[in-house]
Amino acid sequence: MAEIKEVRRAKELSKYRLLSKPNVLGVGYGYKEKAGRRTADLCVVALVRVKLPKSSLAPRELVPPTLDGVSTDVVQVGDIRALQARTDRWRPAPGGVSIGHYQITAGTLGSVVRDATTGERLILSNNHVLANSNAAGLGDAILQPGPTDGGNADSDTIATLERFIPLLFIKEPSDCGVAQWVADAANFVARLLGSRSKLVVVREDPTAVNQVDAALARPVADSDLLDEILDIGEVSGTVEPTLGMGVRKSGRTTAFTTGQITVLEATIDVNYGEGRTARFEGQIVSGPMSQGGDSGSLLVAGDSLQAVGLLYAGSNQATIFNPIREVMAALNIEL
Amino acid sequence: MSTEPALKRARQILRAHSDRLLAKPNVVGVGVGYRKSSPSELALVVMVKQKLPESALAEDEIVPSDIDGLPVEVRMVGEVNAQMDASNQGD
């Protein structure tokens, strides 16, 4: 049995010769495998993209069975790419990476979906990720990565805003001109009097209820999108959520996480910043499995590749999802 | 385990009372879930920003311990925010 010193020496002496063979991507040392099982024998390991039968290789392309008396092993590793962060630029882009309307920070590219009428591939995420919480115009630039992650409109526009379901707020700063003028005047007086507090006009509509926070973007080039979601794979079809169901998601900020559904049929008030609150009904609640930037992630069943929900909100104690079937019906899409 | 009729009944009770519960100042959400202490028993889950002792609440702010025979479980969820990256959000 070869000593580690001999194996290392054999590896150092032969590595450049091995790396010059067309299929070899890397050289190292490790325990030899026989019939899929690790043996106690140390050997020089050649990492290849694909294992090929000896008959299809020229003699000079073969990895010799021994090098300086040390045995060798050939291990298939496939294509090796540099590990990319989810906040990096990805082309083609899979689900689970950073994306955003050019005026927001960043959220998550949920998944590629298909228009139920035309069959075209589109990007699914939230209204507040792709449509800037109603403030966007159709055709606006969608950046991958999102602006906070360095995306800019000149070089990183992956798609344009296709359509979105408007968010209804139960509480938001008023856009009523007269009321704002009164408030501005009051603020002016207050400033003269040395007050630092500011009066903001708030409009309330307690009857406004949402089912989904969802939007679609159309890729600039179809080839820029991958059907799979990072660390999950290619999702197809849906499954109804149940209490206690194990679930998983892949998102920009917290990457791959798992959880359990704790509450169903939830009506819940969500803070959208800038004094806006939106009420949602029929929602799915899980334990905490997300943070800011994960919005738009697809929620997938723990034991199958079926979609369950669309992540859009959360706290330190819980994560909130739209039921995926409501999202698909509202946007006229298929998974 | 919950049966379909039990779930249906829980949903009906939820629907009948959700507006009243959501009007309480500390309540962020309501839904149906299993009791933490008895994971096969359904409960009406009331999600609150923070758990407060009853003594700190006015009578009409207190969440009842059961509604129409369905146990009520109060859970702290804190502030629920839309989860865009928060790097330049005001919250």
Over residues A110-121, the pLDDT tens digits come to: 999 999 999 999
The beta-carbon neighbor of B83 closest among A243, A265, A314 is A314
Candidate from A55-59, A92-96, A163-167, A280-284 with smallest mean pLDDT: A55-59
Report the distance separating Cα A182 and Cα A24, nearest Å.
74
Q: What mean pLDDT comes out for the span A284-298?
A: 97
Q: B33 exposed, middle or buried (CB, 10 Å; 0-12, 13-18, 19+)?
A: buried
Q: Which of A210, A311, A315, A322 to mutate to test the interface with B (most CBs of B within 10 A)?
A: A315
- Does the structure show a pLDDT above 90 at A314? yes
- Count chain A–chain B contacts defined by CB atoms under 8 A: 133
- Does the structure show a pLDDT above 60 at B89? no
Check residue A175 and give its pLDDT. Answer: 64
Note whether A144 and A158 are within 8 A (CB): yes
Candidate from A15-19, A62-66, A182-186, A290-294 with smallest mean pLDDT: A182-186
Q: What mean pLDDT comes out for the span A263-270?
A: 95
- Does the structure show a pLDDT above 70 at A193? no
ipTM: 0.91
Note whether A116 and A201 are within 8 A (CB): no
Check residue B90 and give its pLDDT. Answer: 37
Check residue A84 and give its pLDDT. Answer: 85
Note whether A275 and A200 are within 8 A (CB): yes
Residue with tokens 């991507």: A25
- Does the structure show a pLDDT above 90 at B17? yes
Check residue B13 and give its pLDDT. Answer: 97
B26 phi, psi to nearest 5 deg? -95, -5
Report the distance separating Cα B77 and Cα A314, nearest Å.
9
Count of other CB atoms within 10 angstroms of residue A71: 18
Structure tokens at A199: 């009066």
Note whether A309 and A322 are within 8 A (CB): yes
Q: A15 exposed, middle or buried (CB, 10 Å; 0-12, 13-18, 19+)?
A: middle
Check residue A82 and give its pLDDT. Answer: 64
Let me know the angle formed at the C-alpha of A206 by B78 and A177, rounded to the nearest 5 degrees: 110
For residue A153, give every residue at least 6 positions away whose Cβ sits within 8 Å of its Cβ, in sequence order, or none. Answer: A102, A141, A143
Contacts of A198 in chain B (CB under 8 A): none
| Tens-digit pLDDT profile for residues A50-89 | 888 888 888 889 999 999 899 999 988 876 666 789 999 9
Note whether A290 and A312 are within 8 A (CB): no
Chain A: residue whose CA lies nearest to B14: A265
Confidence of residue A257 (pLDDT cuts 50, 70, 90): very high
Residues of B with CB under 8 A from a CB of A: 2, 11, 14, 18, 22, 28-34, 39, 45, 47, 75-91
Q: What mean pLDDT comes out for the span A192-207?
A: 64
| Tens-digit pLDDT profile for residues B45-55 | 999 999 999 89
Chain B: residue whose CA lies nearest to A87: B85
The beta-carbon neighbor of A315 closest among B11, B79, B89 is B79
Q: Which of A243, A277, A291 to mutate to test the interface with B (most CBs of B within 10 A)?
A: A243
Q: Which of A245, A265, A291 to mutate to test the interface with B (most CBs of B within 10 A)?
A: A265
Check residue A180 and give its pLDDT. Answer: 66
Check residue B2 and give its pLDDT. Answer: 58
Report the distance separating Cα A22 and Cα A2, nearest Å.
27
More confident residue, A190 or A207: A207
Pair type for strands A333-334 and A93-95: unpaired
Give percent of chain B above pLDDT 70.
92
Contacts of B14 in chain A (CB under 8 A): 265
| Tens-digit pLDDT profile for residues A209-233 | 999 999 999 999 999 999 999 999 9
Smallest Cα distance from B36 to chain A, Å: 10
- Does the structure show a pLDDT above 90 at B77? yes
Question: Closest by alpha carbon to A67, among A120, A110, A11?
Answer: A11
Answer whether A292 sits within 8 Å of B85, measured CB to CB: yes
Mean pLDDT of chain A: 91
Confidence of residue A174 (pLDDT cuts 50, 70, 90): confident
For residue A232, give every residue at least 6 positions away whose Cβ sits within 8 Å of its Cβ, in sequence order, or none. Answer: A95, A96, A248, A250, A256, A298, A300, A305
- Does the structure show a pLDDT above 90 at B88? no
